[in-house]
Structure 1
Amino acid sequence: MPRHARGFDTEHAWDYLTRRDRKLGAWMKRIGYIAPQPTWKKTFDPVDALARAILYQQLSGKAAATIVGRVETAIASARLHVDTLDRIDDAALRACGVSGNKTLALRDLAARERRGEIPTLRQMSTMHQDEIVAALVPVRGIGRWTVEMMLMFRLGRPDVLPIDDLGVRKGAQFVDRLDAMPTPKELAARGETWGPYRTYAAQYLWRIADAGIEAKTPTKRSQD
């Protein structure tokens, strides 16, 4: 099986996209070059990453970090995994500020890890990104967007376009000077132009959304 490298040549992606799409390219030149993500080369535990994603959902970063810190203290570990999560019962999780739904999601994640249903980092290296999505979205509390963020920012897959993300859609609206944000289906079609570097295009679309709003109300994204 072919192994997928973590990360890609962003200089080549820059040259490719600025040549292929003049409208996007003009914005890219205005914003400037985006360097490779440092997280692409860092090892991580997918279960820990998913558990943190669950805990961060629908909360501000500060509030979520506080809750995660309490959980880490309660389990006496900086790693959220099936073995460490077993150290804390549901009542103790609630005392840390974890909601009932998130507690159920963490228990489901741990149960699936015990059954070997969560791919390891090594296994993911030989899996197509669609296979990774299919393996992880059955976990309670984990949607396609969460897996796409892992694919983009942790695994460094080059061709991921989160078409449901409001920031990405808003950025595409500014690029094409549309009266309204494109629908996810319309964005998927538009994104064909950016393959095989849709991940890099999405990074610019987020920044374009913020730049286009300028000093007005910040763009509300699906992760907010």
Structure 2
Amino acid sequence: MPLAHLSQDVILKQIIESTPAPKIAFDYTDDPARNRVYLALLESIVSQQISTKAANSIFARFLALFPDGYPYPEQLIAKSPEELRSAGLSGQKSIYLQSVAAFALENPMDNAFFSGMSDEEIVQYLLPIKGVGRWTVEMLLMFVLDRPDVFPIDDLVIRQKMVKAYGLTETGRALYKRLHEIADRWRPHRTLASRYLWRWKPDG
């Protein structure tokens, strides 16, 4: 059982016992015409560097620009910069969104296609898209493709929580090395461990 395995780490065991079980973060349709990965990439770009509340509002206005509330790639590419800005999007994010759409028109992005690829292969496959970084793809792996063993070390909250929980004093490369060493003990359930860390309230 994943929790039994993770609880072999005494510190993580305490976190699990004091933290509500993680909930599914994304709930996208399984309609093959409405690609989950594509939609999640768009939402992730909209969410970059703004609050969750603002991101939800802008993404809702963005979806409302399309006839049935779904930004099919060909429809998104056809939108003018002015139309996209009317939803509250910056010029840069508008370019990134259309980059995702252009990629989706030329390359497969469905669950069946990704099922035969490793986590790292998926990262490398999607990184060429403008506005998409490793962290973004790792979020897709965890919450959309349901990959069980992802450790998003570039996530600031994950690093801060681990530093606090394990009393780490290292910095820079030494810190990253130490974080990987700790997380290696969680394999093959690092996704679940990370989700508990996100929900954990150290002072709670």
Using the size of structure 1 for normalisation, the TM-score is 0.79
Q: Deviations over 1:99-155 (max 9, x none)?
A: 111111112112212221x52221112211111111111111111111111111112
Aligned to 2:19: 31
SS at match of 1:141: coil
Using the TM superposition, give the Cα deviation of residue 40 of structure 1 relative to its aligned residue in structure 2, in angstroms: 7.6
Using the TM superposition, give the Cα deviation of residue 87 of structure 1 relative to its aligned residue in structure 2, in angstroms: 4.3
Aligned to 2:142: 152
What is the alpha-carbon distance in structure 1 between the residues aligned to residue 160 and residue 77 of structure 2? 41
Contact residue 47 and residue 80 of structure 1 kept, 8 A: no
Q: Give the count of matched residue pairs.
A: 198
- Percent identity reads 33
Pairs within 5 Å for 1:127-146: 127-146=117-136
SS at match of 1:212: coil
Using a 3 Å threshold, how does the CA distance of structure 1 residues 155 and 42 change in structure 2: closer, same or farther? farther
Contact residue 99 and residue 130 of structure 2 kept, 8 A: yes
Contact residue 77 and residue 84 of structure 1 kept, 8 A: no
Contact residue 151 and residue 190 of structure 2 kept, 8 A: yes
Aligned to 1:100: 91
SS at match of 2:196: helix
Q: Which runs of 5+ in 2 are unaligned?
A: none
SS at match of 1:74: coil
Aligned to 2:57: 66
Aligned to 2:193: 201
Using the TM superposition, give the Cα deviation of residue 53 of structure 1 relative to its aligned residue in structure 2, in angstroms: 1.1
Q: Deviations over 1:26-55 (max 9, x none)?
A: 2222225x2663858952521111111111
Cα RMSD of the aligned pairs, angstroms, is: 2.3
